[in-house]
A and B are shown apart, each in its own frame.
Chain A
Amino acid sequence: MTKISGNSSKTGAGIAQLFSRVLQPYKYTPIISWLLGGLVAVIIEQFVGLSLARALGMYKIPALFGILFILDKPLLFTGALLYNILIYVIPITVVARLTKFLGNRLAAWLLTIPHIVSIVVHLGLLYTILHIWSEVSDYRLLVARLILIAIIVTLSLNVINGYMGEFSCSHPGFIALGAYATSVFTIVLFVDDNLFGPALLPISFGFLFFPIGLIIGGFVAALGAIIVAVPSFRTRGDYLAIISLAFMFIVKSLLENLEWVGGPRGMGSQPDWANLPTVFFWAVIAVWVINNFVKSTLGKALNAVRDDETAASAMTVDTRKTKMTAFLFGAFWAGIAGGLFAHVIRYVNPGTFGLTMLAEDLAMVYFGGLNSVVGSIVGAVSINLLSEALRPLEIYKWIVIPLMLILVMVFRPTGLISFREFDVMKLIEPKQEPKE
């Protein structure tokens, strides 16, 4: 919120003053009040969304803020805009404003008891918002889950490309390994399938075994990462990029040739276990673990290796161990994301994990910002929302998004929010107005 007022002060003085006067109360609004506002907004949408949408000339609730409608029928622009303002903007700002003092008091009180409680409360609110928002349509549910998975993918790629500064192109390979390993695990054990025969265990055990399957997928991906990590001891930068690219092609080609996992036809009938709570849980764990990893000594060692390997080595950083850890760690989370992805789509085939996915993953990381957890989240959410929202443009979508990315690269070569530390405590603490 400080950012908004900071930017606006550069534009015309009158407008700046108006802006800062309007935004002044919001500068010290704690995050919990914004979450409450979001909650109110989605609840309002749940109850009056449909009738409002009909009144404004739309036949159903606009799934992604009405962009789908606008591109289809430009005349609905005012309707969609009005809908967004009435359903989202006004309730969120009003509730956030009204609950400012209450929110600050609550946030302060939550910090007096163990901090984990405060974090859980915030995450619970966030999840509730997401849950109610995605209840409106199956499409929203799918988009929400894919975005959460994209966050895991982007973060894990950022560990290698951003924090360690290698240009690794092998991520689709890791995701594919995770997706296939998890799928094989769940299908062999729990599904009557024509590839693997009847189920070995009743499907009701599934929820206990799904995390195990995901972790197996993560480990398989990490195992594959050794192939890329070992050459990284000897070479860096460009040649490693090619090695990782070759690895990606090898994995894709290998899966195409393995008949027992379906070959080029792929593998379907994964059980429907990757529901919103599961994906949300794993995304939160991923953000938490990766954020702690990059803030740890090992994470700082990654930055040291990136900036100057020789100097890092002279400063007693074990560069081999560091590179190996980063590759295995990144690949592990990519594998987990792959397992979740396979169970959201409930079908995998080798063609999915090709150059298109590589381009998307790289786009998310470099759009959001290198070396930054917040940047990764922003990149994953915005690129995914854009690519879903621009769906009516059909093929022209793939002209608009690359152009945007080129612009971002030209004006901010390391991404929108790069080289920023993500401090959870700073995020959830009460925002005290300075006493004058």
Chain B
Amino acid sequence: MTFFFQNVINALQWGSLYALIALGYSMVYGVLLLFNFAHGDVFMVGAYIGFFIATGLLALSSSGVLVLSNTMILVLTILFAMLLNSFVGILVERVGYRPLRNAPRASAAITGLMIGIILETSNLALLGASRLSFPELITTSTYEVAGVVLTNKKIVIVVVSLLLMIALHQFVQRSKWGMAMRAMAFDFAVVPLMGVPLNAIAALTFGLGSALAAAAGVFYGTAYPVLDPYMGITFGWKAFVAAILGGRGSILGAALAGFLLGFIEIFVATIFPSTLRDLIAYSIILAILVYRPHGFFGEAHTAQLRL
């Protein structure tokens, strides 16, 4: 039983990262009906931004220019990474998606894919292929509750991720901008005629998603302190699948599917040889999608590719 709960804790941490990234995919997909294929790499960029802010702040505080505790640095890193990465997301929207607003959606998917490749390659070209290790901002302390080992990192990651998701949910449900986003998701063609600024909403959607991805990137760096340029492909793409599994534009669905993916992966890796992880995870996803083609919370609408 302890074994089970231990893995539940691990899966919660792993899944909360997936869920944060999946939310970004899901929002863009819900509002603009677009695959944001670049989102995985935006997550990677967010992690790197977090890395540079964290190392910069650490250097400043150790040289005595600023007096900051490590917790303070972590908070600032998350906030600034989210802020800066939202600009990256807005830039991606401006360059890759806005010119193709009226083009076939498959073409926009291609530009997204290409922007992803450009982000990766620029990273490789600027920083080289070596992996970076994220500075350790929280010293790990472990607690044992009834045989289950908890670390403070895990608690922070899961709790803050959940808080971010709740905040996003509140924003989308309660605020005027959130209402505009939901209206846009409801009818992409008519709502702009009612005076809702399409471009601003699109930018907001990309910005919010990228901010969450940056948070996920910083958490990823905190939990598994290795960053490499391909983490967007290896990790981000799975979150993409989770987003679709949750259903079109459903925040709850994306979060749940992210956690589900985390659970599947962690449990497969503990029970079977870990090389089977992808195989079994994707097979389960395929089975779910064949049985429920529109995901958990998606409506069974006929999505037409406008060609």
Q: Are both chains from one complex?
A: yes
- Most central of B100, B237, B293 by chain A CB within 10 Å: B293
Partner of B114, one of A165, A257, A307, A363: A363
Asked if residues B244 and A242 are in contact (CB atoms below 8 Å), the reply is yes
A-B contact count (CB 8 A): 139
* Residue of A with least CB distance to B303: A237
Q: Closest residue of chain B to A243, judged by CB?
A: B289
Interface stretch of the complex, out of A40-48, A207-215, A273-281, A391-399: A391-399
Asked if A370 is an interface residue, CB under 8 A from chain B, the answer is yes
Cα–Cα, bound, A65→B294 (Å): 50
A253 contact from B103, B104, B282, B290, Cβ within 8 A: B282
CB-CB nearest in chain B for A396: B125
B63 interface contact, C-beta 8 A? no
- On whether the beta carbons of B276 and A243 are closer than 8 Å, the reply is no
Beta-carbon contact of B107 and A414 below 8 Å: yes
Say if the beta carbon of B275 comes within 8 Å of chain A: yes
Report how many residues on chain A are interfacial, defined by Cβ distance under 8 Å: 48
Does chain A have a CB within 8 A of B241?
A: yes
In the docked arrangement, what's the CA distance between A242 and B305, Å?
A: 14
The distance from the CB of A166 to the nearest CB of chain B, in whole angstroms, is: 8
**B99, B107, B279, B305: which contacts A237 (Cβ < 8 A)?**
B305
Whole-angstrom CA separation of A246 from B290 in the bound complex: 11
Q: List B109-131 residues whose CB lies under 8 Å from chain A.
A: 109-111, 113-115, 117-118, 120-122, 124-125
Chain B contacts for A287, CB-based, 8 A: none
Q: Could you tell me if B118 and A402 are in contact, using CB atoms closer than 8 angstroms?
A: yes
Interface residues of B in 70-122 (CB under 8 A from A): 95-96, 99-100, 103-104, 106-111, 113-115, 117-118, 120-122
Asked if B117 and A238 sit within 8 Å, CB to CB, the answer is no
In the complex, which residues of chain B have a beta carbon less than 8 angstroms from the beta carbon of A237?
303-305
- Whether B107 pairs with A366 at a CB distance below 8 angstroms is yes
Q: Mark A345-388, 1 if CB is under 8 A from B, else 0.
A: 00000000001000100110010001000000000000000000
Which residues in B have their C-beta under 8 angstroms from that of A241? 35, 109
Would you call A239 and B305 a contact (CB within 8 A)? no
Closest to A237 in B: B303
- The reply on A245 being an interface residue by CB < 8 A is yes
Q: Does the CB pair A306–B307 fall under 8 Å?
A: yes
Tell me whether A395 and B125 are in contact (CB under 8 A).
Answer: yes
CA distance A363 to B114 in the complex (A): 9
Q: Contact between B305 and A409 (Cβ–Cβ < 8 Å)?
A: no
Q: Is the CB of B290 within 8 A of A398?
A: no
Determine whether the beta carbon of B237 is less than 8 Å from that of A238: no
B117 with A402: CB separation less than 8 A: yes
Contact: A409 with B118, CB < 8 Å?
Answer: no
Q: A325 → chain B, closest Cβ, in Å?
A: 19
B241 touches A242 (CB 8 A): yes
Q: Which of A240-265 contact B (CB under 8 A)?
A: 241-243, 245-247, 249-250, 252-254, 256-257, 264
Stretch at the interface among A52-60, A128-136, A228-236, A293-301: A228-236
Q: Main SS of the interface on chain B?
A: helix
**Closest residue of A by beta carbon distance from B307:** A165
CA gap between A234 and B298 in the complex, in Å: 14
Contact across chains for B115 and A395 when beta carbons are under 8 A apart: no
B182 shortest CB reach to chain A, Å: 19
Indicate if the CB atoms of A362 and B113 lie closer than 8 Å: yes
Chain B: CB-nearest residue to A254: B279
Contacts of B107 in A (CB 8 A): 366, 409, 413-414
Q: Contact check, A239 vs B124: say whether CB atoms are below 8 A apart.
A: no
| A4 close to B (CB within 8 Å) | no
Residue of B33, B104, B237, B293 near A231 (CB, 8 A) is B293
Contact B290 A230 (CB under 8 A): yes
Pick from A234, A250, A355, A398: contact of B279, CB under 8 Å? A250
Residues of chain B within 8 A of A264, CB atoms compared: 275
- Report the bound CA distance from A241 to B105 in whole Å: 12
B-chain residues with CB within 8 Å of residue A246 when the two chains form the complex? 241, 282-283, 285-286, 289
In this assembly, does A289 line the interface, its C-beta being within 8 Å of a C-beta of chain B?
no
B102, closest chain A residue (CB)? A413
The 8 Å CB contact of B109, one of A165, A167, A306, is A167
Q: Which of B106, B122, B278, B289 contacts A239 (CB 8 A)?
A: B289
Question: Which of A230, A236, A245, A256 has a CB less than 8 Å from the CB of B303?
Answer: A236
Q: Which of A165, A238, A399, A409 contacts B122 (CB 8 A)?
A: A399
Interface centre among B99, B117, B248 (most CB of A within 10 A): B117
Residue pair B100, A413 in contact (C-beta under 8 Å): yes
Task: Please give the distance in Å from A249's CB to the nearest CB on chain B.
Answer: 5
Given the complex of chains A and B, what is the CA–CA distance between A26 and B278 in angstroms? 57
Known: A239-B244, A359-B117, A413-B100. A231 touches B290 (CB 8 A): yes
Contacting pair A235 B276 (CB below 8 A): no
Q: Which of B114, B121, B245, B303 contacts A405 (CB 8 A)?
A: B114
* Given contacts A307-B307, A359-B113, A405-B110, A247 and B244 within 8 Å (CB-CB): no
Contacts A242-B241, A366-B110, A402-B117 given: A256-B275 contact, CB under 8 Å? yes
Nearest opposing residue in chain A for B121, CB measure: A398
| A399-426 with Cβ < 8 A to chain B | 399, 402-403, 405-406, 409-410, 413-414
State the CA gap A363–B304 with chains docked (Å): 22
Nearest 8 pairs of A and B residues by beta carbon: A413-B103, A235-B293, A402-B114, A253-B279, A237-B303, A253-B278, A398-B121, A413-B107
Instruction: Give 18 pairs: A residue, B residue, CB < 8 Å, sorted on A.
Output: A227-B286, A231-B289, A235-B293, A236-B304, A246-B289, A254-B279, A256-B275, A257-B275, A264-B275, A362-B110, A362-B113, A363-B114, A366-B110, A403-B114, A403-B118, A405-B110, A406-B114, A413-B100
Q: What 15 new A-B contacts, CB under 8 Å, besides A359-B114, A406-B96, A410-B111?
A: A165-B305, A238-B29, A239-B244, A246-B285, A246-B286, A253-B276, A257-B275, A362-B110, A395-B125, A396-B125, A398-B121, A402-B115, A406-B114, A409-B103, A410-B99
